[in-house]
Structure 1
Amino acid sequence: MSAMPEDRPGYELAFLLLAGFRTLIDELHAELARQGHPHLRPAHGFAMQAIGPHGTSASDVGRRLGVSKQAAGKTIDRLEELGYAERVNDSADARRKIVRLTPHGIDALTRSAMIFDRLRARWATTLGADRLADLEDALRMVAGPAGLRIDTISWLSP
């Protein structure tokens, strides 16, 4: 029997949401490692989402992540070292560099999407499809219009 809502401390909600997020991300990265991406970390995934399918500048990556251009540059440097991103000349402005995903980076994001779909399906089996859909709808409602943000990494940093 579960506790009555008034018996549940308020802080537990945040920790339970974080635990659910952490469970998904940990399982995602374990599977990505098995599929040939052992060095990817959660921050890399956020950065690759910020880079996007068409590439962008390091400044834009920083803005999208909510970090400085220098912090974004360090993450981009690491993604380059691992073969997930590259800096190329901007065809519209020779003074500017564009960061874009390499085929290896695109492969990681494609695999991530498929793995997330499998993880969601597993949650649907565990919770029931209707309960999971209700949970997702409720989270969208309380998160509001800015609910899907990738700047969370900067928010958690000291």
Structure 2
Amino acid sequence: MARGEPAGFVLPLLLFGGFRAIIDELHAELARQGHPDLRPAHGFAMQAIGRSGTTATELGRRLGVSKQAAGKTVARLESLGYVERIDDPADARRKRIRLSERGSDVLARSAVIFERLRRRWAATLGEERLRDLESALRQMQPHAHFPLDSGSWFGA
């Protein structure tokens, strides 16, 4: 490490800190807008469920958790009114999970809030610097998609 350079472990902490700042502010605003029980893991799950819905098995795969863990998250989201279980038209033995009207609403609200947060970052950093940061992060992202299983590697 050259003199004056930050230690290697600082970069992931800064990236995680930026992530937390955005997500914490998102959830504070969602709470003000009537969604106080929503947690970051719920947002990941609803993104993984998507507009077309999915099964618990596929949701677990998308989140990188067991079918049972996915089922527990779905049960919580269902109790909060964000998702609903429906019969799978392709297999009567299976249930599909889809976003409810409340779930779709919260994702639409989240999109608006994320845009507002990005604009604030651009105002603070400058649009060009923010675009450079986004470009650099895309370059360093090893996946063609954004993996939603971040919670799985924080577990013990």
State the TM bucket, normalised to the shorter chain. over 0.9
TM-score, length of structure 1 as denominator length:
0.94
Given that 1:84 and 1:102 are in contact with CA atoms closer than 8 Å, whether structure 2 keeps it comes out as yes
Aligned mates of 1:146, 1:35 — CA distance in 2: 33
Number of residues of Structure 1 aligned to a counterpart in Structure 2: 155
* CA pair 42-5 structure 1, distance change in 2 beyond 3 A: farther
Given that 1:140 and 1:147 are in contact with CA atoms closer than 8 Å, whether structure 2 keeps it comes out as no
Aligned mates of 1:134, 1:147 — CA distance in 2: 19
Q: Residue 56 of structure 1 aligns with which residue?
A: 54
Q: Which amino acid aligns with 1:85?
A: V
Q: Residue 100 of structure 1 aligns with which residue?
A: 98
Aligned mates of 1:88, 1:5 — CA distance in 2: 60
Q: Residue 28 of structure 2 aligns with which residue?
A: 30
Q: Residue 130 of structure 2 aligns with which residue?
A: 132
Aligned mates of 2:47, 2:116 — CA distance in 1: 20
Aligned mates of 1:58, 1:44 — CA distance in 2: 14
Aligned ranges 1:1-150 → 2 under 5 Å: 7-146=5-144, 148-150=146-148
Moved over 6 A (4+): none
- Unaligned segments of structure 2, at least 5 residues: none
Percent sequence identity over aligned pairs = 63
Aligned mates of 1:155, 1:44 — CA distance in 2: 16
More off after superposition, 125-134 vs 146-155: 146-155
More off after superposition, 6-15 vs 34-43: 6-15
TM-score, length of structure 2 as denominator length:
0.95
* CA pair 17-147 structure 1, distance change in 2 beyond 3 A: farther
